[in-house]
Chain A
Amino acid sequence: MPAQTLEVKNLQLWRGERHVLRGVEFALDCGACLEVAGANGAGKTTLLRAICGLAYPEEGEVLWKGEDVRRNLPAFHSSLTYLGHEPPLKADLSARENLRYWVGVRRRVDADSLDAALERVGAQRWSDRLVRTLSAGQRRRVTLAGLALLAVPLWLLDEPTTHLDADGQQLVGSLIGEQLGRGGMVVAAVHHALPIALRDSRRLELPL
């Protein structure tokens, strides 16, 4: 029985002639956070996508609880959430509707917990406005509410603090803190250090 919950072994991925991931390796246990750093184009996003199965590495494997995730992708997917650069929101739905559909597809969510999540990210005043009328930072906050609602053990976050004001960055920090406190795991691609003091946070530097 392996001690680590998420293990990434020797990931190799090419994009045409470019060798993007050159043997990336790390292991992460419950309650741990990994910050993936690196210059633009170093493959931070690609690494996150390779972990969750959106990109196919030529070599290497991702182990979840000791088992190759490709053996049972749906089970692995139900334990993770991936947030890319762009918030997965519909411009023509309100913030609340977006959350109801996006989160609802994955788990039961009632109106009260939706309200609580929206309030948590400071969205209660504009939760019924169409997303197209919201600023980039407000959209980011809506996705953070979704992140909290989904309640899955593994978060894969691509630049979670972009577009956010100081208060919003603190929010990201405390959400991540709670996730780790629950025994969850976070892998975040970052340019700046996460706004949170982490005892068990490690950094993975991807070479360009």
Chain B
Amino acid sequence: MSSGEGPAVRPGTATFESSASIDRAGPLVAARLALLRDLRLAFRQRGQLVQPLAFFAMVILLFPLAVSPELARLREMAPGVLWVAALLASLLALEFLFRDDAHDGTLEQYALSGHSLTWLLFAKISAHWLLTGLPLALMAPLAGLSLGVPPQALPAIVGSVAVGTAALSLIGSIGAALTLGVKRSGALLSLLTVPLSLPVLIFGARATQLAISGGPLLAPLELLGALAVLGVTLAPLAAAAAVRISLE
């Protein structure tokens, strides 16, 4: 066995310093791989992917049955129904954001990768939005039509739901990271996340309402955007700190 010769450093082998710096994956490569891994996994576990969307569709479709099939009345309630359903659907998906990665040691490997954990979690949260927020935004027109929303309001609704769910994913990531050490964390996660998500609900519903009535909806949309930007800058940092604590 060659190893019997002991630890003498073989001449001619590249030192670790030089090879490591040449081959090191840059932060962009690392983030892209982290994102692609989550997307591929999601398509392997379609149940988790479909669950929040099915929930969203069900709430929207059951509402007219329970309240009234009159379009005028439905239209009045449409913003609230749409946003409450979107908020709860994205909450439902949050539980899976870090859960599996915490169990199988992926988060540990991310924390020890030499890259910023904040940055890799940002990639994960982006993947999460692509898998839940974006599909919700794309489903919003169908949901809107079934609630009697006029077609010209639909683009604004898609936009507001897309931005709003991004803010929800980001805000929710803090709660998801904080509850990593808790078994059956669903209830606690909702308690932590819902209060922080209220601004998104309020401005999102307001934007939708104004889109339906044809009013000036720039202000609430801008506020939604501001929330999302605030989330981008702060949420991954907070989530990374919480993940580090859970790893100890």
Interface residues of A in 43-76 (CB under 8 A from B): 49, 52-56, 74-75
List the 3 shortest-distance A-B pairs measured between CB atoms, nearest first. Answer: A177-B3, A31-B7, A78-B114
B140 to chain A, nearest CB (A): 29
Produce 1/0 per residue, A127-170, CB < 8 A to B.
Answer: 00010000000000000000000011100000000000000000
Looking at chain B's contact residues, is the secondary structure mostly helix, strand, loop, or mixed?
A: helix
Compute how far the CA of A119 lies from the CA of B15 in the bound complex, rounded to whole angstroms.
Answer: 24
Does B44 lie at the interface of the complex (its beta carbon under 8 Å from any beta carbon of A)? yes
Q: Does A1 contact B (CB under 8 A)?
A: no
Interface flag for A7 (CB, 8 Å): no
A80 within 8 A of B: yes
Q: Restricting to A65-110, which residues have a CB under 8 Å from any CB of B?
A: 74-75, 77-82, 84, 86-93, 97, 100-102, 104-108
Range for the number of chain A residues in contact with chain B: 35 or more
Cβ-defined contact, B113 with A106, below 8 A: yes
User: Would B2 and A181 count as touching, CB distance under 8 A?
Assistant: yes
Supposing A52-B112, A107-B23 touch, asked if A101 and B36 sit within 8 A by C-beta, the answer is yes
Q: Given A55-B248, A97-B40, A151-B20, A106 and B114 touching (CB < 8 A)? A: yes
B109 is an interface residue with CB less than 8 A from chain A: yes
Q: Which of A32, A105, A152 is within 8 Å of B115, CB to CB?
A: A105
Question: Contact between B24 and A78 (Cβ–Cβ < 8 Å)?
Answer: yes
A108 in contact with B109 (CB, 8 Å): no
Closest chain-B Cβ to A139's Cβ sits at a distance in Å of 11
Task: Determine if B30 is an interface residue (Cβ-Cβ < 8 Å).
Answer: yes
Are A151 and B30 in contact, CB atoms less than 8 angstroms apart?
no
B16 — which chain A residues lie within 8 A by C-beta? 79, 151-153, 182-184
Q: 7 interchain pairs (CB within 8 A)?
A: A52-B112, A75-B114, A78-B20, A101-B36, A106-B114, A107-B25, A180-B7
The CA-CA distance from A93 to B15 in the complex, in Å, is 33
Interface centre among A81, A151, A181 (most CB of B within 10 A): A181
Question: Do residues B13 and A74 form an inter-chain contact, with CB atoms below 8 A?
Answer: no
Q: How far is the CA of A32 from the CA of B36 in the complex (A)?
A: 38
Nearest opposing residue in chain A for B10, CB measure:
A181
State the total of A-B contacts with C-beta under 8 angstroms. 152
Q: Which single residue of chain B is at the shortest CB-CB distance from A200?
A: B7
Of the stretches B51-59, B100-108, B141-149, the one at the interface is B100-108
Nearest chain B CB to A91 CB, angstrom units: 7
A104-B29 in contact given A86-B104, A174-B1 (Cβ < 8 Å): yes
Chain A residue at minimum C-beta to C-beta distance from B116: A74
- Give the chain B neighbours of A79 by CB distance below 8 A: 16, 20, 114
- On chain B, the residues within 8 Å of A52 by CB distance are 112
Alpha-carbon distance A121/B97, docked complex (angstroms): 32
A205 at the interface (CB under 8 A from B): no
Task: Check A198 for interface membership: any CB of B closer than 8 A.
Answer: yes
In the bound complex, what is the Cα–Cα distance between A54 and B111 (angstroms)?
8
Q: A106-B24, A180-B6, A183-B7 are in contact. List 12 more A-B contacts (CB 8 A).
A: A54-B112, A77-B111, A93-B37, A101-B36, A107-B25, A152-B20, A177-B2, A177-B4, A181-B13, A182-B10, A183-B15, A196-B1
